A and B are shown apart, each in its own frame.
Chain A
Amino acid sequence: MVRRIDRDQQRFDKIIKGKVRQQLRKYINHGEMIGRKGRETVSIPVPNIEIPHFQHGEKGSGGVGQGDGEVGEAIGRGKSDGDGQGQAGNDRGQHIREVELSLEELADMLGEALELPRIEPKGDDQLTSEKDRYTSIRPTGPDSLRHFKRTYKRALRRMMATDNYDPKDPVIVPAKDDERYRSWKTVSEPHTNAAVIYMMDVSGSMTDVQKEIVRTESFWIDTWLKRQYNGIERRYIVHDAVAHEVDEDTFYRIRESGGTRISSAYRAADQIIKRDFPPSMWNIYCFQFSDGDNWGEDNSECIESLKQNIIPICNLFCYGQVRSPYGSGDFIKELRKVEEEFENLILSEIEDKEGIYGSIKTFLGTGK
């Protein structure tokens, strides 16, 4: 039964989610606006919606309080420069409300806003994996699966019913009939999993601003791909002159310096794919971010490696070149030369934060 309040709350939810939808572009470009990220949900701060009244402003306002303090002592700040969000100017004093969105909803909004096509997974959805789920109870089984609580309850009930239970000496002795065991069911799941490999250049010329762009963009890419596949596996590679596989956290935080050899990252990616993701079973996505300032002699090796090992087995290979304060490199020009040959090689230049929106559209707009 739906209570009135649930209906009103749903309506309210819809209204504030509408706000997020309207301003999605802003949220996409400014990743820091995404608040807490949980496993399944994100919370997004939105300005509270309020019904305007004729009401008093701050100028000339005051009140009466209680406590210690000298005349002239400050007791609190005005609201106008209270809650962060850095956008000065004529925005109203903001009460922030957090909207809780599931990642699926967010992905759907993203898809809608960017008009992204659904991804057609590679044709091995015949492939299923089997999993055991412990979801039921039965009266026989090995002791290791005995359900203590159920068994105890049944025993207790039986003893009370037969008047053998003494509250002063509450000993429960389960009989054979009381025993209950966990039992499993085998479920088969269609296996359309995807593997995503993120590569980032962490050489000296990539500053925090560039990394922030990478981070924001990969968050949205992740969100979208997660929505499209049953489960995705992610691998992260950072490189300067040599490449390392790292975990997600390190990927976003690491700070290195040194030269740039992109081929090292390609080699690492190749190894990971060979090791973990046989291309016949996986939809493989590679996203590479760099400022494109590669070591000149390395370029030919890179192209060769891409052509031979990586591009042929990937659903998509995306290269995003972020502009760094040291000027943009020319790696993207090298790639442009071979762009024609492969339809799953996607290139995008990201000038600044505002470019993220367009870049995501370029990468994911192919529907692969």
Chain B
Amino acid sequence: MVVTTHRPLPKVLSDIQQEMEQHALDYGLDFFKTIFEVLDYEELSMFAAYGGFPVRYPHWRFGAQYDELMKGYSYGLQKIYEMVINTDPCYAYLLSCNDITDQKLVIAHVYGHCDFFKNNAWFSHTNRKMLDQMANHATRVNQHIDTFGYETVEMFIDTCLSLESLIDPYLPHIRRTKKSESRADAKKRSDAEGDNAGGRFPAKVYMDRYINPEDILEEEADQKRIKAQEMADQLKFPKERLRDVLHFLIQYAPLEDWQRDVLSIIRDEAYYFAPQGQTKIMNEGWASFWHSTIMTKHGLTDQGLINYADHHSGTMATSPNRLNPYKLGIELLKDIEERWNKGQFGPEYENCTDMFEKEHWDKDTGLGREKIFEVRRIHNDITFIDTFLTPEFCYKNQMFSFGFNDSNKTYEIQSREFQQIKQQLLSSLSNHGRPAIYVQDGNYKNRGELYLEHDYLGVELKLDYAQDTLVNLHNIWKRPVNIETVIDDRPTILSYDGKNHSTNSKEKK
């Protein structure tokens, strides 16, 4: 089996690579060793279909993705120029038929990504040896296939993939709960403590006052009540609602060992890819910032100018109904650099009411470069937009928010007001555009049913998909499954009991 397509870079390219690498280092970019490989489009599509990894477990969806990429390319609709994967060392794939200016641009762009992968806080918990990890996953899945048959495993993978988005993207960064003791341990502990605490000692009536003092008895009764409450809490399961639905299922769903293994593979991989979704705007913006800086300051030759301009403007193209993360990212970074260079920040600037003065504000602070390096270290898309989007920026970039008009089924421009644009942008970025879903109860109605809760923030679930997903969830949980959401402004519970779907509005408490 061909694992690597590795072949040494041709001299022309390795010269360019060294040149670009030096420029990147001179600007203070900091990256893992980066290994470039040149691929033809078929190979590049293959890598892209596999998410950048040469060895993945077998699954038709990779084939579907590949098919789509190859067709899109052969019809001239789309083209991938490069791929970078977040590992140490960093692997980057270049398309062999790229023109030399394109290669320069792309290599500079890649160094931007590599620096971001290494330094951005949201990537700090990703496995940098994911190449090996993915290959191990493939081996494990293949073993299961050998034992249980291709179709059985494939069907189960389909089921797991349907739920792959149900993870807690912040989990690697926070410890949400104390390391919880298992229920068995808790029971053992309470058994050991026994129920002998509290209660009266036998005593003659005249001695009772001394042997069983009133205040102590009261205290003990209190403790007993607290303990009973604790016991009740233990019955509630999970104790507090959980974002990491997959983990909950791995722990508690009645799965066979191989199934549990497959599910945890899917979960691992979902966590690996999560930061890339959380930092799309920043990551692409940062890489574009550096390719444009390096190319325009150093890399461009006279004959490459038109090609560069064409490629760069193609990447930055905007359209009314889709936000281009490259464009937004690079513009916002440039804006930050300029503001911090001119000192347009802090209370003095914020409180200035003279528009003219504000516009021509220049304290020559020169902190811009330093600031954007800090931004790339600590922010993700949401905090990035939340902190740095300004009304002036929205105006300058002709931004607007749009919404779906249910009455005529079209998307319409809703507002050009800063607050609304920002609100809309943030909400469409939260959980990178996916609904946030929690496990509320694993023993719903005391019948072992699963009860999930959708945090409704104004956008409804796609109903048919939700029902299909419930079917898959039921395949894993094996007992009826429910999800609470909002349909037509009414809290509603969607349920699936293994045979039938039902939709009930939730009774008011």
A interface, CB within 8 angstroms of B: 1, 3-5, 7-13, 15, 49, 51-78, 80-81, 90, 92, 97
Point out the residues of chain A lying under 8 angstroms from B162, CB to CB: 51-53
Contact A1 B63, CB 8 Å, known A55-B434, A65-B402: no
Tell me the residues in window 381-437 of chain B with beta carbons closer than 8 Å to chain A beta carbons: 397-406, 408-416, 421, 424-425, 428, 433-435, 437
Is B201 an interface residue, CB under 8 A from the partner? no
In-complex Cβ contact of A65 among B46, B50, B323, B463 (8 A) = B323
Is B216 an interface residue, CB under 8 A from the partner? no
Point out the residues of chain A lying under 8 angstroms from B463, CB to CB: 57
- Per-residue A-contact encoding for B141-154, CB less than 8 Å = 1, 0 else: 00000000000001
Which of B318, B405, B411, B421 has most chain A Cβ within 10 Å?
Answer: B411
Cα-based distance from A64 to B413 in the complex (angstroms): 9
Is B333 an interface residue, CB under 8 A from the partner? no
Cα-based distance from A58 to B405 in the complex (angstroms): 9
- What count of chain B residues pass the 8 Å CB interface test? 74
In-complex Cβ contact of B413 among A8, A58, A70, A78 (8 A) = A70
Beta-carbon contact of A56 and B318 below 8 Å: no
Chain A residue with the shortest CB-CB distance to B433: A56
Contact A53 B434, CB 8 Å, known A11-B63, A78-B404: yes
- Per-residue A-contact encoding for B298-329, CB less than 8 Å = 1, 0 else: 00000000000000000000111111100100
In the complex, what's the smallest C-beta–C-beta distance from A53 to chain B, in angstroms? 5
Beta-carbon contact of B59 and A64 below 8 Å: no
Beta-carbon contact of A69 and B2 below 8 Å: no
In-complex Cβ contact of B60 among A12, A54, A77, A90 (8 A) = A12
Beta-carbon contact of B459 and A60 below 8 Å: yes
Is B465 an interface residue, CB under 8 A from the partner? yes
Is B131 an interface residue, CB under 8 A from the partner? no
Is B166 an interface residue, CB under 8 A from the partner? yes
Chain A residue with the shortest CB-CB distance to B160: A51
Beta-carbon contact of A63 and B428 below 8 Å: yes
Cα-based distance from A234 to B193 in the complex (angstroms): 93
In-complex Cβ contact of A62 among B1, B161, B166, B414 (8 A) = B414
Chain B residue with the shortest CB-CB distance to A63: B428
Cα-based distance from A59 to B458 in the complex (angstroms): 9
Cα-based distance from A90 to B403 in the complex (angstroms): 23
In-complex Cβ contact of A12 among B56, B63, B400, B461 (8 A) = B63
Beta-carbon contact of A10 and B63 below 8 Å: yes
In the complex, what's the smallest C-beta–C-beta distance from B154 to chain A, in angstroms? 8
12 further interface pairs, Cβ-Cβ under 8 Å (given A54-B435, A58-B409, A64-B424): A5-B50, A13-B63, A52-B466, A56-B459, A59-B406, A59-B459, A65-B399, A67-B320, A72-B412, A74-B410, A74-B412, A76-B321
In-complex Cβ contact of B401 among A52, A62, A80 (8 A) = A62
Point out the residues of chain B lying under 8 angstroms from A77, CB to CB: 409-411
In the complex, what's the smallest C-beta–C-beta distance from A328 to chain B, in angstroms? 42
Chain B residue with the shortest CB-CB distance to A6: B63
In the complex, what's the smallest C-beta–C-beta distance from A14 to chain B, in angstroms? 8
Beta-carbon contact of A80 and B403 below 8 Å: no
Is B257 an interface residue, CB under 8 A from the partner? no
Beta-carbon contact of A61 and B55 below 8 Å: no
B interface, CB within 8 angstroms of A: 1-2, 46, 49-50, 55-56, 58-64, 66-68, 154, 158, 161-166, 318-324, 327, 397-406, 408-416, 421, 424-425, 428, 433-435, 437, 454, 458-466, 468-469, 472, 483
In-complex Cβ contact of A71 among B2, B415, B483 (8 A) = B415
Cα-based distance from A103 to B168 in the complex (angstroms): 49
In-complex Cβ contact of B322 among A1, A7, A65, A73 (8 A) = A65
Chain B residue with the shortest CB-CB distance to A78: B409
Contact A72 B461, CB 8 Å, known A11-B63, A15-B60, A63-B321: no
Beta-carbon contact of B67 and A52 below 8 Å: no
Point out the residues of chain A lying under 8 angstroms from B468, CB to CB: 52
Point out the residues of chain B lying under 8 angstroms from A81, CB to CB: 409
Chain B residue with the shortest CB-CB distance to A16: B64
Q: List 19 A-B contacts (CB under 8 A).
A: A5-B63, A8-B49, A52-B468, A52-B472, A55-B165, A55-B461, A55-B465, A56-B460, A62-B401, A62-B402, A62-B428, A63-B425, A65-B320, A65-B399, A68-B398, A69-B320, A69-B400, A71-B413, A76-B321
In-complex Cβ contact of B466 among A54, A63, A64, A67 (8 A) = A54
Chain A residue with the shortest CB-CB distance to B428: A63
Beta-carbon contact of B428 and A76 below 8 Å: no
Beta-carbon contact of B459 and A57 below 8 Å: yes
Chain A residue with the shortest CB-CB distance to B421: A64
In the complex, what's the smallest C-beta–C-beta distance from B501 to chain A, in angstroms? 13
Cα-based distance from A4 to B465 in the complex (angstroms): 30
Cα-based distance from A10 to B64 in the complex (angstroms): 9
In the complex, what's the smallest C-beta–C-beta distance from B489 to chain A, in angstroms? 10
Beta-carbon contact of A92 and B464 below 8 Å: yes
In-complex Cβ contact of A73 among B66, B413, B425, B460 (8 A) = B413
Beta-carbon contact of B409 and A80 below 8 Å: yes
Cα-based distance from A96 to B88 in the complex (angstroms): 39
In-complex Cβ contact of A75 among B154, B323, B413 (8 A) = B413
In the complex, what's the smallest C-beta–C-beta distance from A81 to chain B, in angstroms? 6
In the complex, what's the smallest C-beta–C-beta distance from A91 to chain B, in angstroms? 9
Beta-carbon contact of A56 and B461 below 8 Å: yes
Chain B residue with the shortest CB-CB distance to A53: B165
Beta-carbon contact of B424 and A63 below 8 Å: yes
Beta-carbon contact of B158 and A76 below 8 Å: no
In-complex Cβ contact of A57 among B1, B50, B461 (8 A) = B461
Beta-carbon contact of A4 and B56 below 8 Å: yes
Point out the residues of chain B lying under 8 angstroms from A90, CB to CB: 464
Beta-carbon contact of B319 and A65 below 8 Å: yes
Point out the residues of chain B lying under 8 angstroms from A3, CB to CB: 1-2, 46
Point out the residues of chain B lying under 8 angstroms from A15, CB to CB: 60
Cα-based distance from A14 to B399 in the complex (angstroms): 45
Cα-based distance from A11 to B58 in the complex (angstroms): 9
Beta-carbon contact of A12 and B64 below 8 Å: yes
In the complex, what's the smallest C-beta–C-beta distance from B149 to chain A, in angstroms? 14
